[in-house]
């Protein structure tokens, strides 16, 4: 059975449920996390919906996020600073959530995450399909040109920071069976708590407390999902990419998101995705990898086409 690196699906499938289970979402944790110069409160609720004012990314060298924030960096979009009043998708916020969970439970994040979900923390015995480094490699070199990239390791995640030991944002993997087993619980107990309007990105995209709204609009996955009848999925479904050499292009993507569709979602850089509709508890996950024919990472459009091919084929069968 194929094993998949879930990448950022770790956020909604592991970190967010643990945060909802163990943390006071509205307590001010800035001082506990080392942000002694920060004037505004910093809460778990803000971190869950990417509204903590943190940048998207910094290389993990073992120092705290607060210390990282004191060092100026530039030269790559992942290193940009957050804009006040707007959600900015941030791996760093989920690193802080993992720290808070460890403080509260006194259990290592990987251990408690595995015990709750049944998903596998790295290092892995089973090996996912590997691809060459992604954009985090260029961001690492821009931020820390004197520090070598974490060495490739087939037993560890594609994500460089997860490979280096950072927790909370990535670092878990699954087979089709283990993911489905967890989704049967997750879709009933945890996903509904994440589907609340909590913050918005600069383009109007809506974030909840662990999932983001799936917006309507040309070329967006909600266009495939929004016509599925209520109750048509039954229990949680997991779809695997069939391994075709070439995927047909997806429809052109509109620049601006349309209105929320009623579905919520999250994506992993390595390919997987999860969709959830709170109205009827419908839950659908896609398992695929991002490796292209030459071994490199698919670009964003090629990855969207691969996801679109899986989802469109499935939704067509349900719509008759």
Indicate the range of 67-71, 203-207, 269-273, 314-318 predicted with least confidence. Answer: 314-318
In this predicted structure, which of 26-30, 229-233, 246-250 has the lowest mean pLDDT?
Answer: 246-250
pLDDT bin (cut points 50, 70, 90) of residue 93 is very high
The predicted model gives 12-32 an average pLDDT of 98
Only one residue has tokens 């408690």, namely 112
Name the least confident of 134-138, 223-227, 315-319.
Answer: 315-319
The pLDDT of residue 246 is 66
Taking residues 236-245, what's their average pLDDT? 86
Assign 242 a pLDDT band (cuts: 50, 70, 90): confident
Whether 37 has a pLDDT exceeding 90, the answer reads: yes
Query: For residue 245, is pLDDT > 80?
Result: no
In this predicted structure, the answer to whether residue 96 has a pLDDT above a threshold of 70 is yes
pLDDT (0 to 100) of residue 320: 58
**Model confidence pLDDT, tens digit, residues 51-62:** 999 999 999 999
Model confidence band, residue 292 (pLDDT cutoffs 50, 70, 90):
confident
More confident residue, 124 or 256: 124
Mean pLDDT of all residues belonging to the chain? 95
**What pLDDT was estimated at residue 201?**
96
Rounded to the nearest angstrom, the gap between the alpha carbon of residue 64 and the centroid of all alpha carbons in its chain is: 21
Higher pLDDT, 108 or 256: 108
Does the pLDDT value for residue 166 go beyond 80?
yes
Q: Is the pLDDT of residue 296 over 90?
A: no
Position 176 scores a pLDDT of 98
Tell me the three-class secondary structure of the chain, residue by residue. CCEEECHHHHHHHHHHHHHHHHCCCCCCCCCCCCCCCCCCCCCHHHHHCCCCCCCCCCCCCCCCHHHHHCCCCCCCHHHCCCCCCCCCCCHHHHHHHHHHHHHHHCCCHHHHHHHHHCCEECCCCCCCCCCCCCHHHHHHHHHCCCCCCCCCCCCCCCCHHHHHCCCCCCCEEEEHHHHHHHHHHHHHHCHHHHCCCCEECCCCCEECCCCEEEECCCCCCHHHHCCCCCCCCCCCEEEECCCCCCCCCCCCCCCCCCCEEEEEEEECCCCCEEEEECCCCEEEEEECCCECCCCCECCHHHHHHHHHHHHHHHHHHHCC
Give the least confident one: 164-168, 180-184, 233-237, 314-318: 314-318
Q: Is 298 left (phi over 0), alpha (psi -120 to 50) or beta?
A: beta
As a whole number, mean pLDDT of residues 30-34 equals: 97
Cα–Cα dist 3/288, whole Å: 10
């Amino acid at each position: 059975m194929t094993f998949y690196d879930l990448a950022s699906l770790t956020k909604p499938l592991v970190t967010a449920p643990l945060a909802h289970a163990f943390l006071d979402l509205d307590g001010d944790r800035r001082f506990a996390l080392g942000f002694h110069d920060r004037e505004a409160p910093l809460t778990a609720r803000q971190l869950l919906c990417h509204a903590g004012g943190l940048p998207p990314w910094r290389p993990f060298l073992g120092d705290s996020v607060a210390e990282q924030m004191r060092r100026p960096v530039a030269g790559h979009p992942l290193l940009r600073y957050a804009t006040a009043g707007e959600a900015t998708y941030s791996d760093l916020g989920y690193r802080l959530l993992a720290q808070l969970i460890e403080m509260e439970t006194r259990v290592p994040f990987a251990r408690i995450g595995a015990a709750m979900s049944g998903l596998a923390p790295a290092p892995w015995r089973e090996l996912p399909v590997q691809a060459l480094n992604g954009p985090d490699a260029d961001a690492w070199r821009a931020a820390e040109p004197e520090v070598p990239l974490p060495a490739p390791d087939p037993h560890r995640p594609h994500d460089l920071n997860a490979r280096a030991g950072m927790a909370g944002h990535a670092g878990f993997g699954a087979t089709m069976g283990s993911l489905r087993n967890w989704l049967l619980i997750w879709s009933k107990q945890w996903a509904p708590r994440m589907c609340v309007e909590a913050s918005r990105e600069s383009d109007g995209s809506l974030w909840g407390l662990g999932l983001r709204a799936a917006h309507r609009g040309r070329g967006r996955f909600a266009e495939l999902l929004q016509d599925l009848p209520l109750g048509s999925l039954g229990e949680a479904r997991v779809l695997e990419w069939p391994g075709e050499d070439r995927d047909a292009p997806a429809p052109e993507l509109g620049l601006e998101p349309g209105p929320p569709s009623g579905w919520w979602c999250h994506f992993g850089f390595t390919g997987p995705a999860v969709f959830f509709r709170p109205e009827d508890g419908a839950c659908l996950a896609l398992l695929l990898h991002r490796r292209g024919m030459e071994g490199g990472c698919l670009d964003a459009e090629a990855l969207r086409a691969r996801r679109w091919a899986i989802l469109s084929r499935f939704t067509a069968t349900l719509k008759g």
